Structure 1
Amino acid sequence: MTRRDIPLGFRADGTELRIPPVGSNLLIAGTSGSGKSSLAHGLLERLSDCGYQVCIIDPEGDYASVDQVIVFGNPQRGPSIEEVLTALDSPTAQVAVNLVGLPLKDRPAFFSDLLPRIQERQAQIGRPHRILIDEAHHLMPKQWEPASELTGRMTGMIFVTVHPEEVSSGVLRSVDAAVAMGEDPARTLGAYAERVGLSLPAGSWTLDQGEAVVWPVRTGGMPEQFGIAPSRGERRRHLRKYAEGELPQDRSFYFRGPREELNLRAQNLMLFCQLADGIDDATWLYHLQRHDYSNWIEGSIKDSDLAGIVRDVESLPSLSARESRLRIAQAIEARYTLPASGAQS
């Protein structure tokens, strides 16, 4: 049954790309800064939202911001295996094992002791449903060997790495689907394929930020480009950027007025509301009647829902300048939690 599958992202035609919530193993690989963490965070959040338990092995403390996760270990103190296992007793607990407090040389040994204990529990009661291992090339390098027969039968795993070619071939052979991100996804998938003796289907992909290529290896499918479904944390960062950050000049809004006597730049939504409150009615109505506000929000803020609300306001000629200002400011504030503006004046 596929109705419980978890969204991974969206194809070019807008349809969802999904993966099974349990069982299959996923590799997420790509260059630094390519969006691996955003993809992994979003996937973990959606698993948790659907009632699945996750356990994250986090060598660098990158997953503390995942919603609802309980973190064991911090920079001053390493985690203990018993506290992790005790937390996993609760079916609603989402657990991150932060290894930053352990000396670098001790992390592989701790991981080799911890993983079989988690997998033993997984085999007995089916939880945790997913185990994510970040920096897999460090914890499961080329020479890595399973500590037990159970460890060799990995299931429900998510491996995240910058260097798939440095990961144990036994680990890579367990992968059901491989995701590549960054500047050269063909090279990343090729490195994975070479390690496991597969032939990568011919293809060339140029990815923008927030895009990836997935290769469904186990089913023999073709690699497919898609847009990743971002995490809530990523969406919150975008909200802050548009609310309070600084858009480039070519994406800012400019209040110019009917005779272009003004040149007031709004590089974010907060400044837009402040400037809107201070300009004269003629300037405000000039841009309103031209649908400049909704076009800017659609094209530069990339928020089609808010643009639709603003477009409706622009399409009501009976509204006064004061009332249209107020409605648009309230719509922006409701979506971006801005401080209350003085748009009621």
Structure 2
Amino acid sequence: MYFLALATDFDGTLAHDGVVAAETLAALARLKASGRRLILVTGRELPELLQIFSEDRLFDRIVAENGALLFDPDTRHETLLSPPPPADFVARLREKGVGPIAVGRGVVATWEPHQNAVLEAVREAGLELQIVFNKGAIMILPPGVNKASGLHAALRDLELSAHNVAAVGDAENDHALLAASGCGAVVANAVAALRASADLCLSGDHGAGVAELAERLIAEDFGVAPRRNGIRLGTGRDGEAVFLAPYDGNVLIAGASGSGKSTLATALSERMAEQRFEFCVVDPEGDYVDLEHAVFVGTLACPPPAGEALKLLRDDSVNLVVNIQALHRHERRLLAATVLAQVARLRRRTGRPHFLLIDEAHEILPAAAPDHPPAAIGAEGGTVLVSAYPQAIEAGVLAGIAVVLVAGTDAAETLAGIARAMGREPPAGLPVPGVDEILYWKPASGGPVLCLTVPKPLQIHRRHRGKYAVGDVGAARSFYFRGPRKAMNRPAHNLYRFLDVAAEIDDATWEHHLRAGDYSAWFRHVIRDEDLAVEAARIEGDAALPPQESRRRIRKAVWRRYAAPAED
């Protein structure tokens, strides 16, 4: 299931003249029996609601007073979500002849045509209050308190995300509720302005419309979802935007080393964060150690504590990067299998994290792993695999891929190889992607392969940061300190070793390679870090720098980028 809860307004939506039809209650009971949650969001005060509505225990949470009060029908516990109304403000309203006045735990309510007197009282009192209209009713609340804020409080209690909630209403004060949900619906009797902004207009009025939505959620689930539930992936050559939602299935991002697949993954994470989709990254090589909008467990030297990772996954406001590069390959697969299993369980219960990104997927989900059985990924979708060797991914995993994205100049050849590995005929007439374009293919759709233009990420992606810092680039690609007369031959097979040797050699050897531009060339062509190469080239070009200072600046540039301790 994608939609895990239904949030409904009471008056004019669930109820007609304060009464909820038996057929509507039966439809809600069927929805709840399907495993979903029910949330009632109303402008009424709680005692008044409970007096006229005896079926409150059907709901998992009730948000009353237009977002000011949260109520648990099971435990009968109340949580005030706003400051109480100022007594002197209420007294001022009465002095102005405003009435009737209802004073709740957080809301003050009256009726039209007293709006001008209410505005005068707010101005005279010097208070920061908001006024909300609801079919003739006037509600005065602290700023930021509305049905959306109340819904978010209920969802935190239930460990759900707003993306996985469908909401339904009928009046002006339901705008925020519908906008805060994954699908905003209106009953047939809704005011025109709310109908114009809704994702879904139901044919039934009042409770019949709510019952209609409940039955559609049972039958269609994400089929009722609007386009805004996805993140914008890119734009086709026809100008049409292409979106990616968790329920679109599992995704494969492929391409040769340096093709831009990791840059694409970083850009996608930015869009997930912008739209409050929660994500988790399994990072085998430290490529995402500085990813924005995320917290990290695990470092270059210390493996991530599994318990801490799982605890963070349950937090409804955390995007998580699990850095497993400190582990040996066998241990990486074991930990990744644990994370994948926990993610699957959490998703079934809460829908989160919406996206799971597995980098170097051929290593985590290999086609042949005699030392350990392959980890499994769920069929519910939202898992994004990133790999330079997609044919090396376990066949069952590849068979479940619904969306294939391929980057690089040899994208057409790569996609054809993926199709064969999936047991499919390669699509005919593969287009050649241009600069900043990727290939987009939905294997089961029977549709054509598209070229999409995808925006660059705002943040810089650090390619293979951990691997180049402490790994081994190989003898042929190591940096060799030889000096002006080739009197020595000291190799550096990674950046940390480079810094160690650089600190030990004599000034003549250091200056020889510095003035020859060898350091920036190695950073550019082997480490493939253009920013580091540019900074090193500036240092190399400054003839006034003594060897000690040029060493310090090169060392600081490397440390700043590659997760070493900061140095002044």
Same topology, TM > 0.5: yes
- Residues 27-86 of structure 1: CA deviation (Å, up to 9, x unaligned): 100111111111111111111111111000000111123221101100110002211111
> What is residue 326 of structure 2 aligned with on the other side?
101
- Quick one: distance in 1 between partners of 2:327 and 2:435? 33
Which segments of 5 or more consecutive residues in structure 1 lack a partner in the other structure? 236-345
Structure 1 position 201 matched with structure 2 position 461:
no
Q: Which residue of 1 aligns with 2:230?
A: 5
Alpha-carbon contact 2:294-2:318 (below 8 Å) kept = yes
Select which of 230, 240, 256 maps to 1:31: 256
1:153/1:207 CA distance change after superposition, 3 Å = closer
| Greater RCO (CA < 8 Å, at least 6 residues apart) | 1
> Aligned residues: percent identity?
32
For the residues of structure 2 that align with 1:63 and 1:112, how far apart are their CA atoms?
19
User: Is the 1:154–1:174 Cα contact (8 Å) retained in structure 2?
Assistant: no
Secondary structure of the corresponding residue to residue 233 of structure 1: coil
Query: Radius of gyration: which is bigger?
Result: 2
Q: How many residues align?
A: 233
State the alpha-carbon separation in 2 of the partners of residues 22 and 131 from structure 1.
12
Q: Which one-letter code corresponds to 2:394 in the other structure? A: S
Give the structure 2 partner of residue 56 of structure 1: 281
- The alpha carbon displacement at 1:234 in A equals 4.7
Letter in 2 for 1:87: L
Give the superposition deviation at 1:91: 1.2
Find the counterpart in structure 1 of residue 381 from structure 2. Answer: 155
Q: Is the 8 A contact 2:246 2:354 kept in 1?
A: yes
Deviation at 1:138, TM superposition (A): 0.7
**RMSD of equivalent CA atoms:** 1.9
SS in structure 2 of the partner of residue 3 of structure 1: helix
Name the structure 2 match of 1:78: 303
Q: Which amino acid aligns with 1:30?
A: G
Matches of 1:191 and 1:110, distance apart in 2? 29
Shift of 1:218: 2.9
Structure 2 distance, partners of 1:137, 1:147, is 11
Distance 1:185 1:147, change over 3 A: closer
Query: What pairs up with 1:85-164 in 2 under 5 angstroms?
Result: 85-143=310-368, 145-146=373-374, 151=377, 153=379, 155-164=381-390
Aligned-pair CA distance for 1:134 = 0.5
Alignment match, 1:219: 445
* 1:188 equivalent among 414, 426, 429: 414
CA drift at 1:22: 4.1
CA shift, 1:176, in A, is 0.8
- Partner residue in 2 for 1:261: none
TM-score (norm. length: structure 1): 0.64
CA apart distance, 1:223:
0.4
Q: Does structure 2 retain, via aligned residues, the 8 Å contact 1:146–1:152?
A: no
TM-score, normalised by the number of residues in structure 2: 0.39
Match of 2:228, SS state, is coil
**What is the distance in 2 between the residues matched to 1:122 and 1:204?**
36
1:152 to 1:5, Cα distance in 2 relative to 1, 3 A: closer
- How big is the shift at 1:174? 1.1
Please report how far the alpha carbon of residue 171 of structure 1 lies from its aligned counterpart in structure 2 after TM superposition. Answer: 0.7
> What is the letter of the counterpart of residue 190 of structure 1?
A
Query: Deviation string for 1:246-300 (max 9, x for gaps)?
Result: xxxxxxxxxxxxxxxxxxxxxxxxxxxxxxxxxxxxxxxxxxxxxxxxxxxxxxx
Is the 2:431–2:450 Cα contact (8 Å) retained in structure 1? no
SS where residue 231 of structure 1 aligns?
Answer: coil
User: Mapping of 1:244-323 within 5 angstroms?
Assistant: none
Which amino acid in 2 is paired with 1:99? I
Q: CA deviation at 1:146?
A: 5.0
Q: Does the aligned pair in 1 maintain the 2:333–2:375 contact within 8 Å?
A: no
Q: Which residue of 1 aligns with 2:496?
A: none
For the structure 1 residues 147 and 225, does the alpha-carbon distance in structure 2 shift closer, same or farther, using more than 3 Å as the test? closer
Report what 1:15 is aligned to.
240
- For the Cα contact (< 8 Å) 2:357–2:383, is it kept in 1? yes
